Structure 1
Amino acid sequence: MHPFDVEHLTTSQWRNGGGATREIVAWPVGDEEFQWRASVADIDRDGPFSAFPGVDRTFTLVAGDGVRLTAPGTFDRTARVGEPLAFSGDLELTAERRGGACRVLNIMVRRGRRAARVDRITGPLVPPGGHAGVFYVLRGHWRTDAAGRPLTAGQGVWWDEPDGAPDGAPGREAATPLSPDAVGLWADIAPVR
């Protein structure tokens, strides 16, 4: 497991000037074409989203008043804090903020190679064996063996297909809530066989 803190990740500005991305990981690390990718994006103004053909995306608002994503005649959904929103990266989307600046957790998987599911959790996280994943703290305090100290909002861990448990069987506990207000996002990233 690899711990991260969003505030210490490298920031890349969007070409259209509408925001910035902080990459948590693109797997396999160092390859030009990712199988899966996790990042946090800050959306500073309304405007177009980049399309990612052949990629499935899950977009979860972690801060802000909401973001409406639209593709004329095809897609029209509003993201709210802690509610994952899945869609095809093939879509030419436009983002419209419902207030000021927003922050989102983005999970992207290469279609046909990986599948992702993002859940809001408040209890212990025990990922299935053979799956990759990302755990992101929305609020409260959490413990993981990888971090060595309690994690708070904007921190987390990522991993790729840990050894140990057979594929699909429960693995070892990855995160445990330490406070009654603890809420996290868990992105389970499964290989497509």
Structure 2
Amino acid sequence: MSLPLFQRFALAEIAPTRWKNGGGNTREIAVWPAGAGMDDFVWRLSVADIGQDGPFSAFPGIDRQIVLLEGAGVTLRADDASFSHRLEHIGEPFAFSGDTSLQATLIDGVTRDFNVMTRRGHCRARVEVFRQGFAPGAGGHAVCLLAVSGAWQAQDAGPLLQAGEGALYGAAEPASTPSFEPVGDAALCLCVTLETEPGQ
């Protein structure tokens, strides 16, 4: 089983799933294997809207990365006191272990965050932020792009990604993921490269 070579998405077109505690919602961009649940995914990409202070559940065996997309940010405090981090700069990734539960405290109102979850020993993720033209790394299992601000044009008249839009590439061939250039000022794009272990 392999990923399609190209899938386009828009956050506005992904139906949100409300959290059980009512404190926010999640839009799942992609998960591998397709259709996997929270107990058996290899990797998962999503965007969350956090509307109020509250807990983040523990996910033992999962490595996590979070990037602020909109809002003033959130303070994340591990229940085991292993870290306390203010996520307040848009586009700056923060990596942490899912082994411990967290408390999330909003800094000043609702935030939107990009989330990467990978199963330890099965997959690794590299999260990069670009403000200038870039070419995603080749050879991974998948590459996900998300235009955070501005617009991004793929080479050779490929897709134009507006803010809130993205693309998922199955990176089976180096040439399958084109380079991208910003269109206009203040453009910012996230690039996630996912590397899976053989057999995943």
TM over 0.5: yes
1:44 match: 51
Q: What displacement does 1:155 show?
A: 0.9
Gapped runs of 5+ residues in structure 1?
A: none
Q: Which residue of 1 aligns with 2:3?
A: none
Q: Deviations over 1:120-157 (max 9, x none)?
A: 11222322223312111111111237x96521211111
Q: Which amino acid aligns with 1:108?
A: M
Q: 1:159 to 1:34 in 2, by over 3 A?
A: farther
Map Cα deviations across residues 74-105 of structure 1 (whole Å, 9 max, x no partner): 11011121110000111110101110100000
C-alpha distance in 1, partners of 2:35/2:7?
16
Equivalent position amino acid for 1:45 in 2: Q
Identity of aligned residues (%): 40
**Secondary structure in structure 2 of the residue aligned to 1:182:** strand
**What is the aligned partner in structure 2 of residue 189 from structure 1?**
194
Pick which of 126-135 and 83-92 moved more.
Answer: 126-135
Q: Is the 8 A contact 2:151 2:161 kept in 1?
A: yes
CA root-mean-square deviation: 1.9
The secondary structure found in structure 2 opposite 1:157 is strand
* Partner residue of 1:130 out of 130, 137, 140: 140
Summarize deviations over 1:148-176 as a string: whole Å, max 9, x none: 6521211111123x2223xxxx8642433
Please state if 1:74 is matched with 2:82: yes
Which 5+ residue runs of structure 2 have no aligned equivalent? 1-5
SS of equivalent to 2:186 = coil
- The match for 2:149 among 111, 135, 139 is 139
- The letter of the residue matching 1:98 is I
Runs of 4 or more above 4 Å deviation: none
In structure 1, the residue matched to 2:104 is 95
TM-score by length of 1: 0.89
Equivalent-residue separation in structure 2 for 1:11 and 1:28 (angstroms): 20
Report the residue type matching 1:76 in the other structure: S
